[in-house]
Amino acid sequence: MADAAHGLGGLKYDPKKRAKPPELNVFIALVVIVAAFELLGWLLYRDSFLFNTRPNVDAIFNWARLNIIILQVSIVGIIAIGVTQVIISGGIDLSSGSVVGATAMIVMSFAQTAVVNGNPNPKAIFGEWAMDLPVIVPVLVGLGCGLVAGLINGLLIAYTRIPPFIATLGMMVSARGLSKWWSNGNPISFPTESYAAIGKGMMPVVIFVCLAVLFHLILRYTLYGKHTYAIGSNEDAARMSGINVARHKVLIYAIAGMLASVAAIVLSSKNLTAQAGMGVMYELDAIAMSVIGGVSLAGGRGSIVGTVIGALIFGVIISGFTFLKLDAYYQEMVKGAIIVGAVVLDQWRQRRMASRM
């Protein structure tokens, strides 16, 4: 079978020399960056980035730091799973950070507990009827918010042919407005215990990993995935092949919106509060994770595996700067540089691919 698969035509072909998966390069980049921080750590502070150096702890790795890295990236990582699909299809989603904000505010209003330390909840948004609801209510409300935002994005993009950049920019501004208007800028706090359990401890990581595996399988093995790549690769070809491009785009943005709302639920549960400013700039972090992970802004290329490694690189860099005791302002500047750098890298990759054709 394998012979026949490759025996067509006169050219010699060596099946053992399959093209390396592109994720390999991203993984190597991750290893190199970790090694660089390790080296800098020893040079500057005589301390290890990766390994345990405290004598009272019995472990090889510095698990505390590794856990923080993974925990830090998993919430934005959930958004990045959706953003990856959007970018593979040739689009972009700038609204996810604001959708997180709006969803968190709305969800939290349905997740409050009636009594805090023997007193009525001081942050109550609604009356008695919205207190101590079963956890499924806020979760469904949250997913609904993400779904609506994503559907609006998708319908605008698919049927009015507004560029995705503009449509989702509009959603970004509107959803942020909604989150500020919702409680006149007041934070919403004191969720029920069952709601607080969603994002407790390492739960965000568990949710991130499960969703990453699920969507990896979906992108790889289902019609949805194949058509997402096809649309990003050549939208006209997809249309001529009979794919309902408009309907598929609506589905992609709806899923991206729902993933942003999952991030909002996890984040508000983890923080035990929702604020109007939640999720600011998350959209850019998510785009950066995807692009670092090899998702091409031109569409058609990328994978969830790549994005997960991209998210880890992102987390390692942020945590590495803390480790090197650089202050927060530097970190912001560096983050900006990472985002621009990732896009430059993507452009460069595209040119290189083009010259190989």
Partner 1 sequence: MSDIVLETRDLTKHYGGVHALEGVNFILRKGEHVAIMGDNGAGKSTFVRQITGVEQRTRGEILFYGRPVNFAGPLEAREAGIETVFQTLALADHLDVADNLFLGREKLRLRLGPFSILDYKGMREATLKALQKTGVKIPNIHNTIERMSGGQRQCVAIARTATFHSRLTIMDEPTAALGVQETAQVENIIRNLKEQGEPLILISHNMRQVFDLVDRIVVFRRGRICANLRKEETDGQEVVAYITGAKTQPEYADAA
Whether residue 108 contacts residue 188, with contact meaning beta carbons closer than 8 Å, is answered with yes
User: Token match 């991203």: residue?
Assistant: 26
d(C-alpha 305, C-alpha 303), whole Å? 5
Q: Binding-site residue total for partner 1 (CB under 8 A)?
A: 39
Shortest Å, Cβ 262 to partner 1: 18
Q: Closest Cα partner for 288 from 267, 308, 266, 314?
A: 314
> Which two three-digit tokens encode residue 248?
């598929």
60 binds partner 1 (CB under 8 A): no
- Per-residue mark of binding to partner 1, 199-238 (x: CB under 8 A): -------------------x--xxxx-xx-xx-xxx-xxx
Among 53, 67, 186, 241, binds partner 1 (CB under 8 A): 241
Nearer to partner 1, 16 or 46 (CB): 16
Shortest Å, Cβ 143 to partner 1: 17
The rounded Cα 16 to chain-centroid distance in angstroms is: 35
- Per-residue mark of binding to partner 1, 249-268 (x: CB under 8 A): --x-----------------
Nearer to partner 1, 12 or 54 (CB): 12
Shortest Å, Cβ 134 to partner 1: 28
352 binds partner 1 (CB under 8 A): no
Report the length, in residues, of the chain: 357
- Per-residue mark of binding to partner 1, 286-305 (x: CB under 8 A): --------------xx----
11 binds partner 1 (CB under 8 A): yes
User: What is the phi-psi region of residue 161: left when phi exceeds 0, alpha when psi lies from -120 to 50, beta otherwise?
Assistant: left
Residue 273 has phi, psi (to 5 degrees) of -160, 160
Nearer to partner 1, 221 or 330 (CB): 221
d(C-alpha 155, C-alpha 138), whole Å? 25
Nearer to partner 1, 70 or 219 (CB): 219
CB neighbours of 226 closer than 8 A, spacing ≥ 6? none
Nearer to partner 1, 15 or 118 (CB): 15
357 binds partner 1 (CB under 8 A): yes
Nearer to partner 1, 9 or 118 (CB): 9
d(C-alpha 289, C-alpha 285), whole Å? 6
Among 53, 67, 186, 244, binds partner 1 (CB under 8 A): 244
321 binds partner 1 (CB under 8 A): no
Please give the full DSSP string across 271-321, using - where no structure is assigned: HTEE-TTTTTTHHHHHHHHHHHTT--TTSS---HHHHHHHHHHHHHHHHHH
Shortest Å, Cβ 5 to partner 1: 6
Shortest Å, Cβ 254 to partner 1: 11
Strands 188-189 and 273-274: antiparallel
User: Token match 């805090």: residue?
Assistant: 116
Beta strand extents in 31-118 (DSSP E only)? 115-116
355 binds partner 1 (CB under 8 A): no
User: Token match 């589905």: residue?
Assistant: 251
Nearer to partner 1, 224 or 321 (CB): 224
Rg over CA atoms, the chain: 22
Nearer to partner 1, 89 or 109 (CB): 89
Nearer to partner 1, 233 or 322 (CB): 233
Q: Given the rule CB under 8 A, which residues bind partner 1?
A: 4-6, 8-13, 15, 18, 218, 221-224, 226-227, 229-230, 232-234, 236-244, 248, 251, 300-301, 353, 356-357
